[in-house]
Amino acid sequence: MKTIEVAPRGRNPFDESGVELGADGIKRYTNRPPSLVEMLRASVQRDPDAPAIIDIGNVELNYQELWDRSARVAGGLRAQGIQRGDRVAINLQNGADWVLAFWGAQLAGAVVVPVNTRFKESEVEYVVNDSGAALTIVEGMELPDGEPLDCDDLQPDDLAAIFYTSGTTGFPKGAMTSHANFLTNSMNVMRAGNIPMEEGPELSTLISVPLFHVTGCNSQLIPLLEVGGRTAILKSALDLDGIIDAMNDIGITHMVTVPAIYFALLRHPRIGEVDTSKLRGVSYGGAPMAPPVVRELGEQFPNARRGNGFGLTESCSLLTSLPDEDCAEHADSVGFAMPVCDLAIDDPDPETGVGELLARGPNIVMGYWNKPEATAETFVGGWLHTGDLARIDDEGLLYIVDRKKDMINRGGENVYSVEVESALADAPGVGEAAVIGVPDDMMGEKVGAVIVPAPGVEFDPQAVVAYARERIADFKVPQYIALRSEPLPRNPGGKVLKKQLREETEWGAPLR
């Protein structure tokens, strides 16, 4: 096995106290709770009457109520035969029920399987079957209820959740996330946001991104509950009026969303109504943000520190963060490695320094559920092979320059071209199809399909879109279609030359 050289850290903008280097070469935070259950228990004991969850327009729960109701869900799960280590799938929209189902499963010692609510029925079925979920909690279903129960002997390396992430084969892969992974990420978020534990009760966040994503669950819900803050939940990030109302009515101190939502929010006719006095942090990630928008964000929210975070499902969310001081000058960077995270560039180009980004740390997940071959390919010698092409400068700033696996980043949603191409392969009138990202000021990228029509068949782009929409999630469906009269350019091995295709393709107006 070849030796991997850890990238120099350069500047260290984050608090690095309480970090110890293990015999395995992995740095870890000291004095972390042993499990998510013990983390929540400590917050409840510290201030049981403090507000914990605000499901906007519905219920509000303080910390004691959150614990008590979650414990009854745990008891109900056990009464239904759910044992420690069993998987419980959560297929719910954002809201208090999602949170109670998550914590109920944790208190029962079960393993949560968050389900992407935008998946089609076949995709949901795959996740549920692959995980071997013993129970799926769905909309309209009463949450399990029983005698209060909580497991008090869960360990850091116990499996806590399986987050499914799209794969290049079209089949999602379940990232096995331990209690230690979650708790490391929680501390990473505190260090990135410079959030002292003692200020917790003064803090509040607004979750409008999906809770089934690692950003909403791992980097918002869990850290705020650890510090004892308030978590307000909206069902949709597209509810811009709801975001503005929550900022004013609840006094949000920290916001996290994708650049596309900030882009739209800054242009909303009510943006001038927002009381910005309490807002301390506005963080973004999932896609690059144009420098003018970064500056506009600072001007609109002058009391808030900006931050660009980067991570993957496989890193339990946060790997790097770009502090406010660097946001404008280095808007194309995703920042510095978190204190316990090491980065490396595999096989860097001698001129550009670009190579595949590798990462290691106690936040890297345990592998892929039920997929030993994919695990062996991706997690090698303690390093996560991210599939992203990147470079790291002398200051330690990380720059993502391309996606090794032709992933399209649509406003923070990862779309793999192979999966969409598979859905288009048998669409009416399609001879050949290749899927690539179309640059977009708001979303970063949108999904585009270059199609060579089948000979002698009438081609209808709307029929192709309708066909795809029946087979894949809505956010993966092409919004642009470009027709090509000659065959797709391919190398001798038959692989489509997508760089050439991007250069040759002219996109018209979007279909929707």
What CATH number did the domain enclosing 308 receive? 3.40.50.12780
Could you tell me if 160 and 295 lie in one domain?
yes
Give the domain-ending residue among 402, 423, 454. Answer: 402
Whether 232 and 206 have beta carbons less than 8 Å apart is answered as yes
DSSP state at residue 55: E
Please enumerate in sequence order all residues whose Cβ is within 8 A of that of 299, keeping only pairs 6 or more positions apart, or say none.
none
pLDDT confidence of residue 118: 84
Could you tell me if 332 and 464 lie in one domain?
no
Give the domain-ending residue among 353, 374, 402. Answer: 402
Please give the tally of structural domains in the chain. Answer: 2
Domain range holding 142? Answer: 24-402
Give dist(CA 193, CA 395) in Å, integer.
Answer: 20
pLDDT confidence of residue 167: 45
Tell me the pLDDT tens digit for each residue of 64-119. Answer: 999 999 999 999 999 999 999 999 999 999 999 999 999 999 999 999 999 999 88
Whether 376 and 410 have beta carbons less than 8 Å apart is answered as no
Pairing of strands 480-483, 444-453: parallel
Could you tell me if 285 and 159 lie in one domain?
yes
Q: Is residue 37 part of a domain?
A: yes
Could you tell me if 466 and 362 lie in one domain?
no
Give dist(CA 181, CA 313) in Å, integer.
Answer: 11
Give dist(CA 422, CA 166) in Å, integer.
Answer: 13
Give dist(CA 143, CA 123) in Å, integer.
Answer: 23
pLDDT confidence of residue 457: 78
pTM (2 decimals)?
A: 0.84
Could you tell me if 445 and 310 lie in one domain?
no
pLDDT of the chain, 512 residues: tens digit per residue: 578 999 999 998 999 999 999 999 999 999 999 999 999 999 999 999 999 999 999 999 999 999 999 999 999 999 999 999 999 999 999 999 999 999 999 999 999 999 999 888 988 999 999 999 999 999 999 999 999 999 999 999 999 999 998 543 457 899 999 999 999 999 999 999 989 888 888 999 999 999 999 999 999 999 999 999 999 999 987 899 999 999 999 999 999 998 878 988 999 999 999 999 999 999 998 766 778 889 999 999 999 999 999 999 999 999 999 999 999 899 889 999 999 999 999 999 898 898 999 999 999 999 999 999 999 999 999 999 998 888 999 999 999 876 666 778 888 877 877 778 878 877 888 888 889 999 988 888 999 999 999 887 788 989 999 999 998 999 999 999 999 988 888 753 345 778 889 899 999 888 86
Query: If phi over 0 gives left and psi between -120 and 50 gives alpha, with beta otherwise, what is residue 106?
Result: alpha
Q: Is residue 12 part of a domain?
A: no
pLDDT confidence of residue 100: 98
Q: Is residue 18 part of a domain?
A: no
Report the CATH number at residue 437: 3.30.300.30
Could you tell me if 343 and 417 lie in one domain?
no
Q: Is residue 16 part of a domain?
A: no
Give dist(CA 165, CA 168) in Å, integer.
Answer: 10
pLDDT confidence of residue 288: 64
Q: Is residue 369 part of a domain?
A: yes
Q: Is residue 345 part of a domain?
A: yes
pLDDT confidence of residue 1: 59
Whether 34 and 179 have beta carbons less than 8 Å apart is answered as yes
pLDDT confidence of residue 285: 85
Q: How many residues are listed for the chain in this entry?
A: 512
Tokens for 15?
A: 């608090």
Could you tell me if 391 and 347 lie in one domain?
yes
Q: Which residues sit opposite 357 in a β-bridge?
A: 345
Could you tell me if 305 and 353 lie in one domain?
yes
pLDDT confidence of residue 170: 57
Q: Is residue 145 part of a domain?
A: yes
Could you tell me if 318 and 453 lie in one domain?
no
Could you tell me if 328 and 425 lie in one domain?
no
pLDDT confidence of residue 420: 85
Could you tell me if 431 and 488 lie in one domain?
yes
Could you tell me if 106 and 238 lie in one domain?
yes
Give the domain-ending residue among 402, 433, 450. Answer: 402
